Structure 1
Amino acid sequence: MPNYASPADTATYGEYTIVREPGDTRPLYRFTGRISADGSTPYPAVADRYHVYSGWFCPWAQRVTLVIELAGLADTVSVSYVDGNRDARGWAFREANGPDPVNGFTLLRQAYDRTEPDFDGHVSVPTLWDRETGKVVSNDFATLDADLASQYDVAAHGGVELYPAALRAQIDELETWLRADVNSTAHVATGDGPGAAEAAETLLKAFTQLDDRLRDSRFLLGDDVTLADVRLFVTLVRYDAAAARTGAPRLAAFGELWRYARDLYAIDAFTKTTDFGSFAGGESVVADWHTSVGATR
């Protein structure tokens, strides 16, 4: 019988919080192991050793699952999904998304406690688990996607070269800008907090710049999908759903950016790893993303 956590219950367990003591300088994403193809780290890029604990709702986690699909690693690195609801116990495995197929854990926290007894940090997705050592390798989304994209023989797996050496400097430069002005700003811009107006101004300026950039380019760096596109898409699709709820400008207000986002979504890996039900309400939003790109150009 599969093991499942009891339903999320904040009345009993409280809300999930990250408790940090004053002066605690440890990183929020504490596990930062790196996969390598050349033996430079303890974690070689081999098949069937690693498992990704993901969450359909999470853009940072979708970056990783998208890379796995696009790079042809679906039979090399396994993936499972936590439930989208949590209480103070953190992310959990429930029937809606299935059990933990590797360890039979009911709570993702158990993986962290197995790695660092009485773990007192942030329990997050994506989490990379190492079957051989029985420990978490990384929960650092900022390096996980790049490692998976570059340390395996993508060509041998029939995958897309998402992080080619010749483009890495440009991909990294785009990440610096997009992380600050888009990926870390979109959820604030569509909220009602004190920083919403300023975040919206920053975000819409970035959208205008992206719209201009894409007038003469199918994707961010030419005609081929790269890691830069993966990293931008996961925020765009969630922003558009939030904008539909809040009345913020939809992506359709930016013609080339909207064309670009739907062009990506039409690729099987993007469709397969996007679960609108985990972050978007309303069938109209989903229908918009299925509109033919050519119909509005």
Structure 2
Amino acid sequence: MTTGQEFNRDTNYITTRITRDGAEGYPVEPGRYRLVVSRACPWANRSIIVRRLLGLEDAISMGVCGPTHDRRSWTFDLDPGGVDPVLGIERIQDAYFARFPDYPRGITVPAIVDVPTGAVVTNDYPQITLDLSTEWARYHREGAPQLYPEHLRDEIDEVALRVFKDVNNGVYRCGFAGSQESYERAYHRLFGAMDWLEERLSKQRFLVGDTITEADVRLFTTLVRFDPVYHGHFKCNRQKLIEFPALWGYARDLFQTPGFGDTIDFDQIKRHYYVVHEDINPTRIVPAGPDLSNWLTPHHREQLGGRPFGDGTPPGPVREGERVAAGHTPLAQA
């Protein structure tokens, strides 16, 4: 980033898809693939939530990188010996290089890896969650919700696009702005979208329709990071999330819904942003706050109607080995 420039996200991902017909060489096959994530990353957090909501834990295993990384890649420093127990690698970059020895772009999570070859299949995070909903439908748990129902796809896509451009990516446009002018443009664009969402969610419980959809997953992972990180670290400080009545109630509603809050590790989220972004936070001091107990306060969003899972059911308890560490979320004390 040079002075005066706006932040532009590199969206050239590995677009190979895992499909029912295996048209691109990777057929849907339970046990064959490993989803590699970091709980710190909002883009990876989406896939963690969708995998859990749909009950795909037995079909697709999950490897979890630590919250920090260096210029080379994310590492498996949470695992014994710093090695992923399934892939046998220390860094997710090894899976990228197994398929593309001269891979020139960013080494990102989430990524899905073909376990037999150890090679990355895709890191196209928006398509990953859509394919989990559609291509993997045969392996969804009984009672899994319809996160991308056909009759709502156009509206979901429309809402999700604005959420991505102005909110999900908007906070980064503020945080990594290269000039005062580019920062202020991003700032006003972000809060214009937040005001639009506040108005929309003051009248309906969820973003599209009367159940949780892909659009809600995509917004939630930014909202849950807003006050702990984006408000201060990225200078998104017109208002805190807790100062938006509808958005704050909506965020708590989702947080308290199985599959959402139980994937959130606030300690890892804060460590990632405040430690990795040395250009923004050169001291690498991680804030002690904010108090997180308010995430469990009543939200009263049920008064707007709607059924979170439609005709389906909530997912069961988090699997052993996939639980957020005690003390890293207020849910541990709930």
Q: 1:11 maps to which residue?
A: none
Post-superposition CA distance 1:142-183 (Å, at most 9, x none): 211111111112685122211111111111111221111111
The TM-score with structure 2 as length reference comes to 0.74
1:160 to 145, 150, 153: 145
Alignment CA distance shift 1:155-1:99 (3 Å): closer
The answer as to 2:220 corresponding to 1:233 is yes
**Structure 1 CA distance for aligned equivalents of residues 61 and 140 of structure 2:** 18
Q: 1:288 maps to which residue?
A: 294
Q: Give SS of 2:112's match.
A: strand
**Structure 2 CA distance for aligned equivalents of residues 192 and 31 of structure 1:** 26
- Structure 1 stretch displaced more, 171-180 or 273-282: 273-282
Q: 1:114 maps to which residue?
A: 98
**Same amino acid, percent of matched pairs:** 35
Q: Confirm or deny: 8 A CA contact 1:35 1:148 kept in the other structure.
A: no
Q: Confirm or deny: 8 A CA contact 2:31 2:61 kept in the other structure.
A: yes
Shift of 1:192: 7.3
Q: Confirm or deny: 8 A CA contact 2:38 2:65 kept in the other structure.
A: yes
Shift of 1:185: 0.7
Post-superposition CA distance 1:36-58 (Å, at most 9, x none): 12443322222111111101111
Q: 2:258 maps to which residue?
A: 268
**Structure 2 CA distance for aligned equivalents of residues 192 and 135 of structure 1:** 35
**Structure 2 CA distance for aligned equivalents of residues 255 and 145 of structure 1:** 29
Q: 1:257 maps to which residue?
A: 247
Shift of 1:88: 2.8
Q: Confirm or deny: 8 A CA contact 1:52 1:79 kept in the other structure.
A: yes
The TM-score with structure 1 as length reference comes to 0.83
Post-superposition CA distance 1:1-46 (Å, at most 9, x none): xxxxxxxxxxxxxxxx9xxxxxxxxx75442111212443322222
Q: 1:65 maps to which residue?
A: 48
- Structure 1 stretch displaced more, 118-127 or 219-228: 118-127
The answer as to 2:89 corresponding to 1:105 is yes
Q: 1:85 maps to which residue?
A: 68
Q: 1:9 maps to which residue?
A: none
Matches within 5 A, 1:120-135: 120-135=104-119
1:108 is matched by which residue type in structure 2?
I
The answer as to 2:128 corresponding to 1:144 is yes
Aligned length: 271
**Structure 1 CA distance for aligned equivalents of residues 295 and 73 of structure 2:** 32
Q: Give SS of 2:15's match.
A: coil
1:65 is matched by which residue type in structure 2?
I
**Structure 2 CA distance for aligned equivalents of residues 122 and 261 of structure 1:** 30
Q: 2:325 maps to which residue?
A: none
Structure 2 residue runs of 5 or longer lacking an equivalent are 2-9, 271-286, 304-334
Q: Give SS of 1:43's match.
A: coil
Q: 2:166 maps to which residue?
A: 181
Q: 2:279 maps to which residue?
A: none
Alignment CA distance shift 1:226-1:154 (3 Å): farther
Q: Give SS of 2:202's match.
A: helix
Q: Confirm or deny: 8 A CA contact 1:190 1:248 kept in the other structure.
A: no
